[in-house]
Amino acid sequence: MSISPLMPVYPRCGVRPVKGEHCHLIDEDGTRYLDFASGIAVNLLGHSHAGLIGAIQRQAETLMHVSNLYGSPQGEELAQKLVDNTFADTVFFTNSGAEAVETAIKTARAYHQHEGGDTNRTELITFTNAFHGRTMATISASNQEKMHKGFMPLLAGFQYAEFDNLEHAKSLMSDKTAGFLVEPIQGEGGIRPGSEEFIHGLRKLADENDLMLVFDEVQCGVARTGKLYAYEHYGIEPDIMASAKGIGGGFPLGACLATEKAARGMVFGTHGSTYGGNPLAMAAGMAVMDAVATDEFLAEVTEKGDRLRARLEQFIGNYPDLFDFVRGKGLMLGIRMKVESRPFFVHLRDNHQLLTVAAGDQTLRVLPPLVAGDAEFDEFFDKLSAGAASFAPSN
């Protein structure tokens, strides 16, 4: 047998972490890495946060799982916390981002297929270079052919418009359009914030045509950008929103949030999940929200993000052949490179023990835990400087 016991779908690298300490990962051979990837925007409280660990420990000892056939005091508490802190009136909990986006897609379709709706409206307009997950619906929602190959047929009902191009989105609208599904700040696509004009334009088109504006905030949500959710930067609200990654701080958790109006089709029996909203996940989510959903914490993320960005902008000026510019918001930053970002990301990882994430559009993602401070930023710039100085892009 030559296939590995772990299905070989990931090009796994030689870093094999066995322990996490605050902003560092420790490999099985003892090597310490500075983790400015955070499990791809997941470990927002770092790796050994006492509050999060304590909450999970206490809940594990008390009650880990019960069926959604029973009442859920833990789910009600976290849902209320999210409702109190966002545009939403109601929340469905999932175990992952893709499931949260799936729920969002179903919610948008059900809005139109519910009584009083227009059942022709079944299509979502989505955007180029989007990433929404790896289930059949979520790969179908992305135009990226590398995710489609081998998995045909795709799920019908998605039209791809160019990201950040309002006119293109408008030109694809028809009497079949149910709404728009968009990452307000693209993550995998290269830390690309949608322009104000684009996001406001989508909101307006949705309002004028009774369409659903669905945000995928799986990567940009939960304090990462200095707001609890990125839509707050734009001064508008979505109708439906998928959240995950940071929301469990490392424990698998996702959520689909919606207004009462948008959720009108999601009635008894229409959707479900065995694990979704289990007490253990709710305890983790509550610990994360208690830590991050405060004005002080969010102001700190904004302030740290400004500082990190200013230092990055100054730094990249030393290597004009390597780096182009910095973009993003808060502690969701991307360095747009003048060369492919992947070889540089590998070089930083293997030769300088600095973990970042490569992304589309020649971008290096810098996603520190939100609890990183000046000591970690100093270490980051030491490693990044050494890495840039020793990197030969032509090799």
Ligand X SMILES: *Cc1c(COP(=O)(O)O)cnc(C)c1O
Q: Would you tell me which residues interact with ligand X (CB under 6 A)? A: 96-98, 101, 131-133, 183, 187-188, 216, 218-219, 244-245
Question: Degrees (nearest 5) of the Cα angle 245, 246, 247?
Answer: 95
Give residue number: closest CB to ligand X: 97
Tokens 């949500």 label which residue?
221
| Residue 276 C-beta: closest distance to ligand X, Å | 13
Task: Tell me the sheet residues that pair with 256.
Answer: 92, 242
**244 or 256: CB nearest ligand X:** 244
Tokens 């990301």 label which residue?
345
CB atoms within 10 A of CB 323: 23
**187 or 190: CB nearest ligand X:** 187
| Residue 97 C-beta: closest distance to ligand X, Å | 2
Helix (H, G, I), strand (E, B) or coil at 2: coil
**205 or 244: CB nearest ligand X:** 244
Q: Which of 203, 279, 243 is nearest to 86 (CA)?
A: 243
Helix (H, G, I), strand (E, B) or coil at 358: strand
| Residue 359 C-beta: closest distance to ligand X, Å | 10
**142 or 362: CB nearest ligand X:** 142
**124 or 244: CB nearest ligand X:** 244
Task: Tell me the sheet residues that pair with 337.
Answer: 323
Tokens 């000046």 label which residue?
374
| Residue 189 C-beta: closest distance to ligand X, Å | 9
Q: Is the dihedral of CA 127, 252, 63, 22 positive or negative?
A: negative
| Residue 368 C-beta: closest distance to ligand X, Å | 17
